[in-house]
Amino acid sequence: MNFRTFHWRSLKTRAILFTLAIFLVGIWALAFYASRMLREDMQRLLGEQQFSTASFIAAGVNEQLDDRLRALEKVAGMISPATLDDTAALQTSLEQRPVFQALFNGGTFVTRLDGTATASIPLSAERIGVNYIDRDYISAALKEGKAMIGRPVMGKKVLAPVLVMASPIRDAQGKVIGALAGVTNLGMPNFLDKITNRGYGKTGTYLLAAPQHNLFVTSSDKSRIMRPLPAPGVNPLHDKFAQGYEGYGVLVNFRGEEELAAAKSIPVTGWFLGIALPTAEAFAPIRAMQQRMLWATILLTLLAGGLTSWMLRRQLAPMLAAVETLATLSAGDQPIKPLPITRQDEIGQLIGGFNHLIETLTQQKDALQASEARFRCLTEMSSDFYWESDVEHRFTQRTESKSGAADLDLRIALFIGARRWEIPSLSPDEGGWQAHRALLDAQLPFREFEISRIGGSGAVRHVCVSGDPVFDVAGNFTGYRGIGSDITQRKHAEEELLRSHEQLRELTAYSDKMIEVERKRIAREVHDELGQQLTALRMRLSFVAQQHGEDHEMVGQMAELRLRVDQMVGVVRHVVSNLRPAPLDLGIVPALEWLADDFEQHSGIRCRLRMLDMEGGSGDTLMLDDARATPVFRIVQESLTNVARHSAADEVTLSFDVTNDFITIEVADNGKGFDSDGANKGRSFGLLGMRERGLLLHGALQINSVPGSGTTVSLRLPVDRRAQPRNDQNGARRS
């Protein structure tokens, strides 16, 4: 790629265009802001100037109109009723006032009460005999008795726009008897010529408007004279002027031209004087300045573009050289080498970071190759294998090993193409398989899940697999991958060990049975033989003592011997009880009652016995054969022995509950307790023996203890219940 040419995807090109765009936006924003502010300032200055001019001229017009209206009133006040009736005298009186005639270039005339003109100057106007009662100014003077400036109209005889004002003529009592009118011909030179004969600026105009008559009275723009005002709503600023607003603003005239206008009211008539200046003339300096700024902006843009291009080419030269080098290296098979750093600036730091990244990637590549070699070696030398599955949980890949096809038959080859749930689990518990299926559906990792399948030879192969979900760069699930092992031999060894353990357990049960049988035999022989001999010896000593009753020394020796014999009898009974308690031959319930009494007597710890069956009875219906009663008795006996030795308790409760063909035996004390984790894991030989006895009875032994809260030993096993009469209906034998 040649970066010295103009490319849209080139960083240099984008930087130049972006810089120019920022420059242009800034220049044009500044120009727009400056022109807008200048326009507003100029509009304010020109508007104030226009309003000042309009105010000056409006004041002059108002004064002129007021002078003429007062002159009419003054002359009307000099006309008597007699003069009004004498038309010749009235005509002479009007002609003798040249100053008065100078105020009205269109002349003056007098009307009677009916509105008919009786005198007029000049006579050439031919007003005598014409009725003017329809004119607003004559009607106001005659009917309302007030002086008024009339609506500008076309004269009846003059045939030109005229402005007429009239004043009433009164008699001595103040009654209106006629009217005196003064006419200003707007088509001839008059006092409004200062408005109509000059413009404002080059193209601006003056205008005089009568809003109450909806009419432009006169204007320096002849096209507006006697033209109606814009309709309400067409020009909002003009509507404000018509409503009495005095000020300036921008409006659009009837020609569609934008104008800067100012207006000042004329109080004597209710009119307003306006000045309009086209904005094209008013803001011409601003447009000229904008054009100059445009050319200046173009020149500055070209200059900035050239300087920016030169600066960027110089500053980006190291990076462009690095890009060209990388493009050359990527096109061939050459190894990537560190790029040269020419300047220690941001670009130099970027190239340095890239060189460090190359070094890191090279190290990672070497480490990855070494890791792949170790993985390949481990795979070939061990029974483990690598596997993959797709989104439907079908096994799709596995690693090859040096053992070839035979090894595949022993390993994952049996499972290729099969869905995970089409392969049976080694565990007979379907809950374990459902839990594994839930992990797969949730796309979660799993560890050491065992599956099995029958091979082509009919042999069952067992595999243990662990896996993790795999996601692509977009986060979509693509399957699982993990490792597995062929555990067939291990499973066979476990089965052999289980069989050996069962045989050992059977042997242990047989040994315990033989021990109990031997204990029973020894206890019977000791009880029958030694007990009888001791009893006979005691009787013989008693007989000898009776024969030598007079020999006190002999009697004392005989008594001491009888005491020794009684002690020996007690020892024999204790030995017999330890070997085989006699109540055990009567059943488990009498045996436990005896055991509770014996424990309380010898240990001093209070022992409460509670027996209860599923119907709320005393539990006397419970019957266990000797093969089961003896292990149960020994477990309870060992538990009580542990309480006496280790618990430091002052009370123990022995519970014997029967529910739904199960018997639950609990030995609970209120002693100091201990950590039961080690006990449940079988770290004590005594507890291990108790647990083994429970297993031989097809039951389960559980030890629960918390330091400071006592200990509970619980044995649960199935039991045969036989219907026998109950001895106690209260549910508790001892308490």
CA atoms within 13 A of residue 389's CA, in its CB half-sphere: 25
Of the candidates 721, 729, 684, 730, which has an alpha carbon nearest to the alpha carbon of residue 703? Answer: 684
- Helix pair angle (488-525, 552-579), 10° resolution: 160
pLDDT-derived band at 732 (thresholds 50, 70, 90) equals very low
Of the candidates 692, 691, 648, which has an alpha carbon nearest to the alpha carbon of residue 671? Answer: 648
Question: Is-contact 653 610, C-beta < 8 A?
Answer: yes
Whether residue 525 is predicted with pLDDT greater than 80 in this model: the reply is no
The residue type at 232: P
- State the average pLDDT for the chain: 76
Using CA atoms, how far residue 195 sits from 51, 60, 103, 247, in Å, is 15, 11, 17, 19
* DSSP state letter for 456: T
Whether residue 726 is predicted with pLDDT greater than 70 in this model: the reply is no
pTM for this model (two decimals): 0.43
Q: What is the distance between the terminal CA atoms of the chain, rounded to a whole angstrom? A: 101
Whether residue 135 is predicted with pLDDT greater than 70 in this model: the reply is yes
pLDDT-derived band at 175 (thresholds 50, 70, 90) equals very high
Whether residue 124 is predicted with pLDDT greater than 70 in this model: the reply is yes
Rounded CA-CA distance 580/155 in Å is 157
What's the order of all strands across the beta sheet hosting 700-705? 606-612, 651-659, 662-669, 711-718, 700-705
Between 401 and 286, residue with greater pLDDT: 286
675 three-state secondary structure: coil
Rounded CA-CA distance 628/625 in Å is 6
Rounded CA-CA distance 241/263 in Å is 7
* Torsion from C-alpha of 142, 143, 145, 151, nearest 10 degrees: -70
The residue type at 33: Y
Of the candidates 465, 467, 415, which has an alpha carbon nearest to the alpha carbon of residue 443? Answer: 467
**Section 488-515 average pLDDT:** 69
pLDDT-derived band at 455 (thresholds 50, 70, 90) equals low
Whether residue 11 is predicted with pLDDT greater than 70 in this model: the reply is no
Question: Is-contact 57 65, C-beta < 8 A?
Answer: no
Query: Which pLDDT score, from 0 to 100, does residue 514 have?
Result: 64
Of the candidates 69, 98, 85, which has an alpha carbon nearest to the alpha carbon of residue 180? Answer: 69
pLDDT-derived band at 408 (thresholds 50, 70, 90) equals very low
Query: Which pLDDT score, from 0 to 100, does residue 462 have?
Result: 76
118 three-state secondary structure: strand
Between 669 and 223, residue with greater pLDDT: 669
272 three-state secondary structure: strand
Query: Which pLDDT score, from 0 to 100, does residue 433 have?
Result: 65
**Section 661-690 average pLDDT:** 73
pLDDT in tens, 221-275: 888 888 888 888 888 888 888 888 999 888 888 788 888 899 999 998 889 998 8
Query: Which pLDDT score, from 0 to 100, does residue 168 have?
Result: 94
Residue with tokens 């103009």, as numbered in its chain: 6
Query: Which pLDDT score, from 0 to 100, does residue 404 have?
Result: 38
Ranking 300-304, 647-651, 702-706 by mean pLDDT, the lowest is: 300-304
Between 224 and 211, residue with greater pLDDT: 211
Of the candidates 317, 316, 356, which has an alpha carbon nearest to the alpha carbon of residue 336? Answer: 356
Of the candidates 107, 176, 89, 90, which has an alpha carbon nearest to the alpha carbon of residue 138? Answer: 176
130 three-state secondary structure: coil
Percent of the chain with pLDDT over 70: 73
